[in-house]
Amino acid sequence: MLKGRIHSFESFGAVDGPRIRYIVFMQGCHLKCKYCQNRDTWDVSSPDSIECTTDEVLNKILKYKNYIKASDGGVTISGGEPLLQSDFIIELFTKLHEHGISTCIDTSGMFPLTDKIKKVIDVTDIFLLDIKCINDDICTWLTGHSNKLELEFARYISNCGKRLWIRQVLVPGITDKESDLVLLRDFLKTINVEKFEFLGYHDLGKYKWEKLGLKYELENTPIATKDDLDRAYSIINS
């Protein structure tokens, strides 16, 4: 039986997928997002994480099965970056489906489409895909990685007919340029997206960087306002 590295659990999540979700936050991430609110999830071997088998996680989830089913919700695997532990997810999601529980992954999608990743896609009902920035230069500066793989991932998910939600953190002065939002709008029109939303940038996770003795690079970046979000949505919806 496979074991996974887990950062934490949330029994009643309401923002990471449809309805009420049981959230499993995986430990480990290969990106280096400058605005990351979960900096403590990056190190896969963090002593603060816990190791669990798929059955141990399943048993935690099943305690809430009646609430999950009554709300037509499910389980979301977040992180960190869940796809770093693909074998664990495949085994867990297969077991969840045996209990009639919907599965969802919150991912950057920044992975080659290997047979293993495609198997994860097969056992996942809903994808929350975080597109960091449609401008590849900005994406690379912001995360340490090109956006080419995540855009390919989005196209593949769309072609598979999977439910796809796309989100982007709106960072004033960085990911909110009108020309980039127009490019994002045009990209979204080429794929089947059930839901798109902006997540307004905030710095509530800055203390986690400071606790680890790390510099928070977006120290002087303003918080996204309602006006910022309204402007961005007006471009996306045009």
pLDDT digits (tens, 9 = 90+) for 88-142: 999 999 999 999 999 999 999 999 999 999 999 999 999 999 999 999 999 999 9
pLDDT band for position 12 (cuts 50, 70, 90): confident
Q: Which CATH class is domain 3-236?
A: alpha beta
Tokens 């989100």 appear where?
167
Greater confidence, 86 or 45?
Answer: 86
Helices and strands in the chain: count of H runs, count of E runs: 9, 8
- The pLDDT score that the predictor gives to residue 15 is 85
List the Cα angle 191/225/142 in 5-degree steps.
Answer: 55
Is residue 6 scored above 90 in pLDDT? yes
Q: CB-based burial of residue 183 (10 Å sphere; 0-12 exposed, 13-18 middle, 19+ buried)?
A: middle
Taking the C-alpha atoms of residue 150 and residue 135, their distance in angstroms, rounded to an integer, is: 12
DSSP β-bridge partners for residue 25: 8, 78
Taking the C-alpha atoms of residue 29 and residue 149, their distance in angstroms, rounded to an integer, is: 16
pLDDT tens-place string over residues 146-175: 999 999 999 999 999 999 999 999 999 999
Beta strand 50-53 with 163-170: parallel, antiparallel or unpaired?
unpaired
- The pLDDT score that the predictor gives to residue 16 is 85
Taking the C-alpha atoms of residue 81 and residue 28, their distance in angstroms, rounded to an integer, is: 6
- The pLDDT score that the predictor gives to residue 65 is 95
Which residue type occupies 49?
A: S
pLDDT tens-place string over residues 174-229: 999 999 999 999 999 999 999 999 999 999 999 999 999 999 999 999 999 999 99
Taking the C-alpha atoms of residue 142 and residue 170, their distance in angstroms, rounded to an integer, is: 12
Tokens 């995986």 appear where?
26
- The pLDDT score that the predictor gives to residue 1 is 79
pLDDT average, residue stretch 9-29:
92
